[in-house]
Amino acid sequence: MKLKDRWKNLIPIILVVFMAGCLSTVKPAREAGWSAGQQKWVEKTIRKMSLEEKIGQLVVARYHGEFYNRQDEDFKQLESLVRDYHLGGLILAGGEALETAYITNHFQQLAKVPLLIASDLERGTGNQVTGATLFPPLMALGAAGSEKLAYEMGRITAIEGRALGIHMTYAPVVDVNINPDNPIINTRSAGEDPELVARLTAAFIRGCQSNGMMATAKHFPGHGDTDQDSHSLLPVIRADLERLEKVELYPFQKAIDQRVEAIMTAHLYVPALEPEPNIPATLSPRLLTDLLRNKMGFKGLIVTDALEMAGISRYFTPEEAAFRALKSGVDLLLLPPEPVKVINYLKQAVEQGDLPLAKVEESVRRVLAAKARLGLNRSSLVSLDRLPLVLGQPEFKKAALETFESALTLIRNENNLLPLRPGKKIVILSLSSDPGDFYAGRKLAVALTSRFPSAQTFYADGDTGREKLEEALTACRQAEVIIAALFSSLRAGKGSVDLEPAQIELLQKVKEAGRPVVVLSFGSPYFIRHLPQVDSYLCLYRSTPETQELAARAICGEIRISGRLPVSIPGLYPYGYGLTLEKINEWEEK
């Protein structure tokens, strides 16, 4: 039955107020896919738990994989949360490989019940841990269009993550990026086509979960059609039900069909699904229980996006947000501010009858069952000696490089400007919109200068004044070709991934002076909306050492360019557009 048909019977229901304590039925263990041994461990463990221990299993805090002195106050607070408040899990937020594994083992040894260790590995384990393999963002996979590469990304992420003691990744992003001004999803999405997004993320999920790591589809019910960031406020998705079914919900349904083990909620208000004003999806029983569980058939863990984000914290206290999230159908509360206060508040809510104990135990069973499926009931520690044998293997790096290279997308090449021939007099402009990121294009400059020894390089960031930009303009007027590298990071709370107006003006003046301009976009492909008349435009989707080296090779014809736009550029280029540029041998013969 189509999701639209399923909703026909629900539409009258969502217009009335449901009982806040309405619970979904707990499935028998065997029906939920648990083995008899796992079921036995789950029931034995939950029988021994106090109320406080049960509530602790539903709370997750942050840690870093870095060196700590044992007397460090932050470290001691984390130890107390694990040992005394029985947290269900921790979220790794960056670190070094050996420190990560060592500290993770330490916390596992403190825990009465094994911890579920998670991390945001959207671009592979190297996204968080130095020394592990780093992949491009999902939009690069969308440009490559390869399920094989998506599967490999999931597989390698799982192998490296599990070696470090990480059991769960908050990936993939299954949001469909249909708003060019989206400040927080953008290149994190595979693209604007729901079918493409569903196909590639399903492959990632298969690769990840078949190699022992839980995948998490996010951000339900879909964060792709907004120009606001839920880290800063509560965005509103104003699409009607028909559009939501065809676009936002479609990849989630496909992920559920692929048996994704977790789904992360979004701090979004969606009036077509939640008639009560300004109720985020994270706190909506209509979205999480009625839609996600009952209509879409999801049986795994529902986890919140970070509860410290302003999309929640500006409107609800930490205690109220946690309470409402659990009653709505959430299983794991991620990063609530002041977790001890939250645990105590939820304990009191159960004791007073405001939060049903059965609801708490239902979620605890799901959490424990996930831990059992991961084998944590048998062993939760990892070997530090194995890390140099697992992380960053040559075959892993080769797969990542193939993904970066397959994503290169050329959408403009007037008069066959590319590939550039040896001997050209070039000026390199490294232009970053981020203050403090002055040398963003340094590796690109090194790679290009090795090919064009007389090249001049000018750097600018978000704080660079017009006087410096005028110096660059003067040099550009004497060059044969200008290569402009554009950088604008995608990060929480920034509010925009667009370019600096003064830098756009510089490039427009260069073009007006009649100089050929090659633009390299190391971020959003939508930058070209400001520069539609440039001679060549190459999308690389992310700034990394790999992409900067690949950019130099690509514009010199040393590698083949074959990517296709996974999004449309309004008024300029359609979805799926891209030029193919074959490799030439001229540079190799020099």
The residues that are catalytic are: 231, 305
Q: What is the DSSP string of 43-92?
A: HHHHHT--HHHHHHTTEEEEEEES---TT-HHHHHHHHHHHHS--SEEEE
Residue (of 83, 130, 128, 71) closest to 108 by Cα position: 83
Spatial distance between the Cα atoms of 186 and 122, rounded to a whole number of angstroms: 13
Spatial distance between the Cα atoms of 301 and 332, rounded to a whole number of angstroms: 7
Spatial distance between the Cα atoms of 56 and 579, rounded to a whole number of angstroms: 54
- Range list of H helices, 165-308: 194-209, 241-246, 249-257, 285
Q: What are 274-279's contacts with CB under 8 Å, separation 24+?
A: 274/14, 275/14, 275/15, 276/17, 278/234, 278/315
Spatial distance between the Cα atoms of 311 and 313, rounded to a whole number of angstroms: 6
- Collect all residues with Cβ–Cβ distance below 8 Å to 429 and sequence separation of at least 6: 457, 458, 460, 472, 476, 482, 483, 484, 485, 506, 507
Residue (of 295, 299, 291, 361) closest to 326 by Cα position: 361
Structure tokens at 297: 């058939």
Spatial distance between the Cα atoms of 294 and 103, rounded to a whole number of angstroms: 39
- How do strand 536-539 and strand 409-413 relate by DSSP bridges? antiparallel
